[in-house]
Structure 1
Amino acid sequence: MPLAISAIAVSVTGIEKSFGPTRALAGADLAVAAGEVVALMGANGAGKSTLVKILSGTHAPDAGTITLNGKTGTLASPSAAKAAGIATVHQATDQAGAAGLTVAENLLLDELCRPSGRFLVSARSIRRRAREIAALIDLDLPLDLDFVDLRPAERQLIAIARAVAAKASVLILDEPTSSLSTTEADRLFAIIRRLRAAGMAILYISHRLGDLAAIADRAVVMRGGRIVGAFAKPIDFPAAVAAMIGRTLEAAAHDGKISTAPIVASIRGARLVPGAKPFDLELRSGEVVAITGTLGSGKTRLLRALFGLETLAEGDFVLDGQPWLSSGPARSIKNGVFMVAEDRWQSSLLPPEVPGASIAGTIALPHLKRWFPSGLLRAARERKVGSEAISRLGIKARGPDDTLDELSGGNQQKVVLARWQAAPCRLLLLDEPFQGVDVGARADLIAAIRGSQSGSATLIATSDTEEALEVADRILVMRNHSLYEAGDGHGSLTDQVDKVESERPETFDD
């Protein structure tokens, strides 16, 4: 049984922080009690990351106080924050451990790096202590595995196990489910509940409303560097989102405009899987439509079916007024149906040692037959297209011959988008296009998506409601492989997001 929420484990009062002329925090106040999970919500740029970095000892505040377990002081460095009992698990899981070390060695990383740590240790003692630490959260991993070979969920659990072993009183989780499957997320939630029951204070940062409904005791909302709203459980998510963005979902998503442009693509009586409720979908010329919903709701399956990677259980797909059934990606690409998959490295990028792995080659790859029907490639044309993409999308690179491993995640994604903007498009499918992308790159991507429609339609799948609000003309909600739209008899968009995002998916995989 969870412990009753008791003493305040950590609090910040009047925290201010500026970076040059930019004011990131403008008097933020926040408290998390022992045995409590507090969700921290906020749009990009609201100040969440800066607040986390201050609590983690990476940044020092310009003003304000930090109180930890009743003692007010400063956190001069990440090591000082750890020593004080604050553990942070960052979104980038490669920071959760050290590549080249085994699972056992990573579990002991904090202990081995202490100045007072033992200099002479045996492999046997490391394995024995690692098993003790793993047992704290029922972590069952081969101890000899290299950290680099672990999945994101496994890396996170190693960091959490270390925090528990160090007797941390405060755990900060920054977008912990962004790269996890539904099963992995549920396992993480079970561990969080155990830690909460043991009295740990947990600050949980996420855009995913379904996560927050599943795990949070209450939510606080940041905007403009301040806390602007607090919501007890059951959390009123439409109100929380309105506080986060300064307007309601309907106002943000529709702005009073309904497209009357020609229909580019439509689906009638679609069932993604047997037993799911059928739905219809229309996508119009120049329109950006976003589908949001929890992990496992069916968003990715729908995009894959439209691209020809999967088949609909039922339904008719029409493209430009003609019945359409793709036999695979090659036929889709030939007919102007393009897709950017969720994992860009597996689906869109080439290893740097492979010929054509440059920016120019990556953009040109699916268009080679069309551009060079004689089979003679012209590097000058590829470089010209690559240079134009660098300029148009603000790709930070030395030139079109740079390989993709030299670019940040956001710039890699810009290259992938540029690939499909380099040829005539009728339907562009984007699966989690902003995953692993920083704020600046995301703004550039949104501008590129919205600025080059050329009569095509764009369908975006995202688990992030905020992303949907930023990019889309129209937002749809998917639950258990069925699609809903405001005004279709299923309640307003606000009601749908409140219901859909607050429920975990039932029986299907995404």
Structure 2
Amino acid sequence: MPLLDVRNISHAFGSTQALSDAHLSIEAGEVVALMGANGAGKSTLVRILSGLCRPDGGTMTWQGKPFSPQSAADAASEGIVTVHQSTNVIGIPGLTVADALLLNHFVDGRQPFFLSKKSVRRRAAAILSETGFELPLDRDFETLSAADRQQVAIARALTNKARLIILDEPTASLSARESARLYDLVRGLKARQIGVLYISHRTADLEALADRVEILRGGRNVGSFRRPIDFSAAIETMIGRFLNAARPHRRRDFDKTVLSLESVGLMPDSAPFSLAVDEGEVVAITGVIGAGKSRLLSTLFGLGSFYRGQASLDGQAYAPTSPAQAIAAGVVMAAEDRHKSSFIHADWPGESIAATISLPHLSKWYPSAFLFSNREKEEGRKAIQRLSIKAQSAEASVWSLSGGNQQKVVIGRWEAEPSRLLLLDEPFQGVDVGARQDIIAAIRNHSGRATLIATSDPEEAYEVADRVVVMDGHTLIEQNIDADISNRHKEPA
């Protein structure tokens, strides 16, 4: 008998059919991966299982009994707990790890009214002992790494006697080393006969953990793969086309240098390095989180300065002191957190696709400060067509789009005007495989600029780049890794 059995589940948001006769089953001690492009119905299914929304039709059974949770607390009381991608909501800055582990107990009254720090710490230590985790109980939760926050969330779930844990993109912000730690945690859950529903766009995660992969497309089940999993076939099933049809050929004939770094230093004590990126070339920098990739890109965008060495752009000295100076020189950037760096707040005017694309170009497009023309709407329409953005119109809010389509809007912003150097920091974070292929095609089908990408995922680096370089300790340690090398699944040293 399955732990969870979901049959013929349907759900619509207005005229949009999010799920149509979807099904899912999970056994105790089984890791089931749920794959699907953004908008395939994964989040809706998870919301239904978590009690955050109710299905329009279909049936669910949990441990052989009818299951219809009315809230997240209701689902948790039955033994189904969801660990969301954002771990910031697990604890509160200023509280300790011990406090974060016991937050649920404080809310539901399982702890006595009067508590001492000693008693909280003692109970938190007991939780860690029960789960087998090791965490610094007295540290401020805010200072924890993303991997440690995942441990807090999973430990809390286990204290609730969870029988099924839903992990939503758990490695999205983890380094390779932290991801390996998470894999060990998931294997530990499996050994305890706890079911795991694992949602991820990263095939490395699924290859390491999944017993079975279920694929959604357009709200429907379109495929199921058991170990050993043919991931090429699974991805092609997910996106509905052959991978090779979307993968552009790599170029090798570069003859004009756009960016040149000569013996630059990112930190006072870091080793100097040099790097050249040519016109038409896509160079990916990979390495663990904290290696210096983001610092390099932000420095090139005028948000810092090199401690030594010299940078040049098209043969001219280049040392911007602000993003405005960088943009004026033809250097543009899509930062790691697109929600904070690229979008207007959802409740403010200017959060449409067209306005988002036009924002850094307003002074150029409307020098008189009056928006008389339809330039921004036209550029929005062009971006929707060119990048296959799934949106009703250029006036649609960027906040209504999936993660992949939001990233396409950010790319479209910097394609609306000519540039010489495009900087992309973790451009595929939260982006499904189908949208990633569209973004890669857009990046590579632009020969009039150089592109420098920072990614913590070597697989992504090899997929998009003409050349891959490796950064560690705020310096480059490998400069000439060919993007077509056959041993592409290994993490760089």
Q: TM over 0.5, yes or no?
A: yes
Matched, 1:203 2:191: no
Matched, 1:160 2:148: no
**2:135 — aligned with what?**
140
Structure 2 vs 1, CA of residues 391 and 468 (structure 1 numbering), >3 Å: closer, same or farther? farther
Query: Distance between the aligned counterparts of 1:120 and 1:223, measured in 2?
Result: 49
**2:164 — aligned with what?**
170
Give the superposition deviation at 1:16: 1.3
Structure 2 vs 1, CA of residues 390 and 88 (structure 1 numbering), >3 Å: closer, same or farther? farther
Asked if 2 retains the 8 angstrom alpha-carbon contact of 1:363 and 1:418, the reply is: no
Q: Secondary structure at the match of 1:74?
A: coil
Give the superposition deviation at 1:95: 2.7
Q: How does 1:260-299 map to 2 (within 5 A)?
A: 265=257, 284=280
Q: Secondary structure at the match of 1:500?
A: coil
Corresponding residue to 1:500 among 482, 488, 491: 488
Give the superposition deviation at 1:231: 2.1
CA displacement, residues 162-220 of structure 1 (integer Å, 9 cap, x when unaligned)? 00111100011000111112222222222111111111111111111112222222322
Number of equivalenced pairs: 439
TM-score by length of structure 2 reads 0.68
**1:57 — aligned with what?**
51
**1:72 — aligned with what?**
66
Corresponding residue to 1:109 among 103, 108, 118: 103
Asked if 2 retains the 8 angstrom alpha-carbon contact of 1:10 and 1:67, the reply is: yes
Query: Distance between the aligned counterparts of 2:222 and 2:488, measured in 1?
Result: 24
**2:488 counterpart letter in structure 1:** V
Q: How does 1:176-325 map to 2 (within 5 A)?
A: 176-254=170-248, 265=257, 284=280, 300=293
Give the superposition deviation at 1:88: 0.4
Matched, 1:91 2:85: yes
Query: Distance between the aligned counterparts of 2:220 and 2:412, measured in 1?
Result: 37
Query: Distance between the aligned counterparts of 1:281 and 1:262, measured in 2?
Result: 9
Structure 2 vs 1, CA of residues 336 and 380 (structure 1 numbering), >3 Å: closer, same or farther? closer
CA displacement, residues 77-100 of structure 1 (integer Å, 9 cap, x when unaligned)? 111110110010111222323455
Structure 2 vs 1, CA of residues 465 and 9 (structure 1 numbering), >3 Å: closer, same or farther? farther
**2:22 — aligned with what?**
28
Query: Distance between the aligned counterparts of 1:390 and 1:465, measured in 2?
Result: 37
Asked if 2 retains the 8 angstrom alpha-carbon contact of 1:35 and 1:197, the reply is: yes
**2:351 — aligned with what?**
none
**2:97 counterpart letter in structure 1:** V
Matched, 1:16 2:10: yes
Query: Distance between the aligned counterparts of 2:298 and 2:111, measured in 1?
Result: 56
CA displacement, residues 259-313 of structure 1 (integer Å, 9 cap, x when unaligned)? 8998665899xxxxxxxxxx998753xx8x59698967x99489859959999xx
**1:455 — aligned with what?**
448
Give the superposition deviation at 1:451: 12
Query: Distance between the aligned counterparts of 2:405 and 2:207, measured in 1?
Result: 33
Q: Secondary structure at the match of 2:155?
A: helix
Query: Unaligned 5+ residue runs, structure 2?
Result: 261-274, 344-354, 381-393, 471-477
Asked if 1 retains the 8 angstrom alpha-carbon contact of 2:287 and 2:492, the reply is: no
Asked if 1 retains the 8 angstrom alpha-carbon contact of 2:38 and 2:403, the reply is: no
Query: Distance between the aligned counterparts of 1:166 and 1:447, measured in 2?
Result: 42
Asked if 2 retains the 8 angstrom alpha-carbon contact of 1:303 and 1:431, the reply is: no
**1:430 — aligned with what?**
424
TM-score by length of structure 1 reads 0.66
Query: Distance between the aligned counterparts of 1:191 and 1:140, measured in 2?
Result: 13
Q: Secondary structure at the match of 2:423?
A: strand
Asked if 1 retains the 8 angstrom alpha-carbon contact of 2:201 and 2:431, the reply is: no
**1:121 counterpart letter in structure 2:** F
Structure 2 vs 1, CA of residues 182 and 244 (structure 1 numbering), >3 Å: closer, same or farther? same
Matched, 1:46 2:34: no
Give the superposition deviation at 1:327: 7.6
Q: Secondary structure at the match of 1:8?
A: coil
**1:495 — aligned with what?**
none
Structure 2 vs 1, CA of residues 506 and 163 (structure 1 numbering), >3 Å: closer, same or farther? same
Query: Distance between the aligned counterparts of 2:112 and 2:298, measured in 1?
Result: 57
Corresponding residue to 2:113 among 104, 108, 120: 120
Structure 2 vs 1, CA of residues 202 and 280 (structure 1 numbering), >3 Å: closer, same or farther? farther
Identical aligned pairs, as a percentage? 42
Asked if 1 retains the 8 angstrom alpha-carbon contact of 2:29 and 2:191, the reply is: yes
Query: Distance between the aligned counterparts of 2:278 and 2:162, measured in 1?
Result: 51
